[in-house]
Structure 1
């Protein structure tokens, strides 16, 4: 299978967006500029220029054949920006290795539900899902929850992870929960013991470690399989306590890494003390990560595994299971670690802080964290996360993601489709003499995109502007209230400003050198509290916003003019709380 076969659908989708924007701009789409863009952006496909031209021509013919209603509908469905010809920056992923060896491509995302997923986890999920989509294969979600003691599953994490994946557009074809598959693992455990490939070890852990490090076999290693099966039955009968016995797989005792030598495939966990959130105390013998993952990857016909480079040793360990059963190991792509500047990614650190200092944080979705839920709460959209991850690709080297880069991309994606509203912080009252009230004004929500408008009947001659804008007004003498009025500074009385209405023409305001600022009227304002992130601190700004904010719903993202983008976190009778996403 050639690279072109793999990415043909991606090229069609990219060409379609370019063609729609091209037709909108020129009336008819033309293939030549679209071909040039694709070949210029994606060097990998230049060797297939002839085939790319044919694909683009077909797409252009299709776009030009659409009637106006169909054309508009498709633009809306694909969210094509029409301010300028749509810039498609999605990178084409390299082909997966050895696809031809497999009946079909099946990838998986296997989170431990001990906590919600973060940006680093999302990388494996998005890439695995994208490859399954490219190859028209299957994507599996598998919860790896077989450690009810050290990495005890968090009951609500299962559903939170599902919600995070759906929000990211990562939809799965099959779902499995390992704690509900214990009989499967026991079946293969018995097969290994019966064939002499695994044994019950009742040595003191320190003694075993000392023997292992010297390459000396444990005294129980060569016990007859029947003896090991008897001991296994005793474990199931709960005749052994936690720590008194483990099950080990026979490996190479001379392996240079002692961790590979006869590693543990099952251990006893006292679930009367550490109950599992799904199975309670039903089981005491639990498979380790490497055993359960190895068995499941085979039984679920996983063809390609995309996981962190730190799992490289796990591949070595799991190969022993695959060799004993004569199975073919999946293709593995080791991804580098993802770091995030200015936000916290460490699950262990976050869990510790939430436990020790619950009052200092907003929960697992605290906007200072790097969890997917935190990004969503802050107002970062799923498209931004996906594009950041796809831009990283499948590099094996570590990568550091800058919050500035996330904010820049998020801003670019949000701007054409986000309503703009007026909010003033540290408000100063302005009395406007000669304002012809009452009057009706209509203010569009966006200057260049049709996002509707709000209408106000202004009856009061009092408005509010920010204290910073008030200082400039006093210094310059003139001010333009955006979409409303030009005013002249007269004097300051106590904490208020007395001004004079001098017209509504914006060109006149430009001649006067008046700054154009957002404002809110005394008739139509609500309280707005803006929460912003500053390092590990949260700053709170108390502001006034226009009353149309009450028409928005929870989770809506707005652009506060000259302040920044923000997500509505709470709506109250007399105001809203907005989390500042970024400027």
Structure 2
């Protein structure tokens, strides 16, 4: 590590140690700052083994300061980051920190900018949930802009456009406007031409490897000083499709000595041979890179605040170079960490899910094993339950863990009151009845709503119970809604005892289904399909009805086939 790099490391370590200490009002820790430090400064990675040794003494110095002294120092070094921390502390009834400088703008305008390369997984819900809530909080404006200018590596899925808009509505929001970047290619060309005239861009035919070597060595590309007329001519040839893929790009002139090599003369336009799947865009071969396209669109639609992942900090820095050329004011930016989801074996990745579907390992995007919004929707999870869980994560720059149990708890509050109760027996064991039990059981539809009435379940000569509920010899059980029975000589003998035997704690309470009149039911769950039998009243339920299968959990009725009913398990 040379002296120049060491000085930069020391400055950045001090900043991150102060931020960590001020944010948590406690001493900083070398391990805790390494992630943000390396994420914000990727060029430090070759020195990763040396940095902890440099950081240790600096962190100790920070920890020796008072909280007030730490705050004063970080106000000098990183006032924007300090403002973000303080904004996070100002949580109010919206359960979100105030947006930076939101009170100083005429209208808060935000965008949700998905790439429509497939339906949304659960993590995607965070952006519309938070942006939609901010729109409501500030009486502002937000759009959905499909950033679909990469027809090759992130090829758009034509169905995903409508699927994503449906998901935004499912989560409880309606955008004020919808844009498709592939409709706006000519607009990007116009701004590229203007940038060229301003001397801010040049055409480059270096190979990727050659330019990478130049960039990393801090050397200028030999094409950097082309005259404007030549750049204009070659860019028009790009627009006309006269170059092959990889043969020519348009680069934004930045700072060839910039401390971060990733920001040195980045690509704004490239040639792509793969046609765009949308007919309206299929003839274009010269496509803008996301950082250029997104930056132009944010300005043109008046975006005032951007929320993006902390791993995209370089995007803001790249776009600021373009904004400086055009003399535009850059929006306020909030960076946040990634959402990490528990409870799933399938990766929360659009490409990974698609591969599993194509391989036949998942039935589709709404397979209950898939961590997608389509899956949660089919399982009967309300969009509000997801939105509330996402809002609860806040906008921290740290990666955050989302427990599915949080979504389930939210959903339970939303559906419990409206979900009638029914019996469903998994992999049932048939046991004969004796002792003249009632011919019909009449448990309530809902224990908290007597006005809804009772269910009528024919009893017959035998019942089905779950294998784990088969009682020991001579033991008694209470069949819910029916009465007390003693298990004698492989038969459940009706004893006509009162509910007091249950209250005294000597008798287990179990659910059941009639062996003769029942409904074959397939319950689709995250762990695989479960088969069993339900009480006959389930056959009269409508698709989309949510129910609680007693002692099993909540479920959404999906459909009634000729041979069986299919339901999707929601949660316990």
Bin the TM-score by the shorter chain: 0.7 to 0.9
TM-score by length of 1: 0.78
Is the 2:428–2:533 contact (alpha carbons within 8 Å) kept by the matching residues of 1?
A: yes
CA change 1:348–1:239 in 2 (3 A) is same
Q: Distance in 1 between matches of 2:136 and 2:502?
A: 54
Could you tell me which residue of structure 1 aligns to residue 258 of structure 2? 255
Question: How does 1:34-433 map onto structure 2 within 5 Å?
Answer: 92-271=95-274, 274-343=275-344, 344-355=347-358, 357=359, 359-433=360-434
Q: Distance in 2 between matches of 1:120 and 1:303?
A: 24
TM-score by length of 2: 0.79
Q: Distance in 1 between matches of 2:481 and 2:273?
A: 69
Shift of 1:479: 2.1
Is the 2:379–2:569 contact (alpha carbons within 8 Å) kept by the matching residues of 1?
A: yes
Q: Distance in 1 between matches of 2:227 and 2:451?
A: 76
2:522 to 517, 524, 529: 529
CA change 1:401–1:243 in 2 (3 A) is same
Q: Distance in 2 between matches of 1:445 and 1:93?
A: 39
Could you tell me which residue of structure 1 aligns to residue 484 of structure 2? 486
Q: Deviations over 1:340-365 (max 9, x none)?
A: 1232212232233333x2x2212223
Q: Distance in 2 between matches of 1:281 and 1:459?
A: 65
Is the 1:143–1:177 contact (alpha carbons within 8 Å) kept by the matching residues of 2?
A: yes
Aligned length: 483
Shift of 1:515: 1.9
Is the 1:338–1:401 contact (alpha carbons within 8 Å) kept by the matching residues of 2?
A: yes
Shift of 1:425: 1.6
Could you tell me which residue of structure 1 aligns to residue 543 of structure 2? 554
Asked if 1:571 is matched to 2:560, the reply is yes
CA change 1:398–1:459 in 2 (3 A) is closer
Q: Deviations over 1:435-484 (max 9, x none)?
A: 36655x543221114683454263723322222222x2x34532222122
Q: Distance in 2 between matches of 1:268 and 1:276?
A: 16
Secondary structure, aligned partner of 2:224: coil
Is the 1:168–1:383 contact (alpha carbons within 8 Å) kept by the matching residues of 2?
A: yes
Is the 2:368–2:524 contact (alpha carbons within 8 Å) kept by the matching residues of 1?
A: no
CA change 1:278–1:392 in 2 (3 A) is farther
Q: Distance in 2 between matches of 1:215 and 1:225?
A: 23
Shift of 1:418: 1.9
CA change 1:251–1:430 in 2 (3 A) is same
CA change 1:476–1:313 in 2 (3 A) is farther
Q: Distance in 1 between matches of 2:503 and 2:333?
A: 62
Secondary structure, aligned partner of 1:203: coil
Shift of 1:227: 1.5
Asked if 1:464 is matched to 2:464, the reply is yes
Secondary structure, aligned partner of 1:333: strand
Q: Deviations over 1:163-217 (max 9, x none)?
A: 1111111221111010011111111111111222111112233222222222222
Is the 1:197–1:250 contact (alpha carbons within 8 Å) kept by the matching residues of 2?
A: yes
Shift of 1:298: 0.6
Secondary structure, aligned partner of 1:172: coil
Could you tell me which residue of structure 1 aligns to residue 510 of structure 2? 517
Shift of 1:159: 1.3
Secondary structure, aligned partner of 1:443: coil
Q: Deviations over 1:383-419 (max 9, x none)?
A: 2211211111111111122234443443444333322
CA change 1:293–1:548 in 2 (3 A) is same
CA change 1:389–1:500 in 2 (3 A) is same
Secondary structure, aligned partner of 1:550: helix
CA change 1:457–1:117 in 2 (3 A) is closer
Q: Distance in 1 between matches of 2:166 and 2:570?
A: 21
Shift of 1:504: 7.1
Q: Distance in 2 between matches of 1:232 and 1:321?
A: 17
Shift of 1:511: 5.1
Could you tell me which residue of structure 2 aligns to residue 499 of structure 1? 492
Could you tell me which residue of structure 2 aligns to residue 59 of structure 1? none
Is the 1:518–1:561 contact (alpha carbons within 8 Å) kept by the matching residues of 2?
A: yes
Secondary structure, aligned partner of 2:460: coil
User: Which residues of structure 2 form unaligned runs of 5+?
Assistant: 1-87
Could you tell me which residue of structure 2 aligns to residue 12 of structure 1? none
Moved more, 182-191 or 442-451: 442-451
Secondary structure, aligned partner of 1:117: coil
Is the 1:335–1:397 contact (alpha carbons within 8 Å) kept by the matching residues of 2?
A: yes
Q: Deviations over 1:480-525 (max 9, x none)?
A: 2212232233311xxxxx2333337433554583222211224531
Shift of 1:237: 2.5
Q: Deviations over 1:358-384 (max 9, x none)?
A: x22122233233222222233332222
User: Which residues of structure 1 form unaligned runs of 5+?
Assistant: 1-41, 47-89, 493-497
Question: How does 1:442-457 map onto structure 2 within 5 Å?
Answer: 442-449=442-449, 452-453=452-453, 455-456=455-456
Q: Deviations over 1:306-327 (max 9, x none)?
A: 1111111100000011111111
Q: Distance in 2 between matches of 1:169 and 1:507?
A: 47
CA change 1:239–1:509 in 2 (3 A) is closer
Secondary structure, aligned partner of 2:390: helix
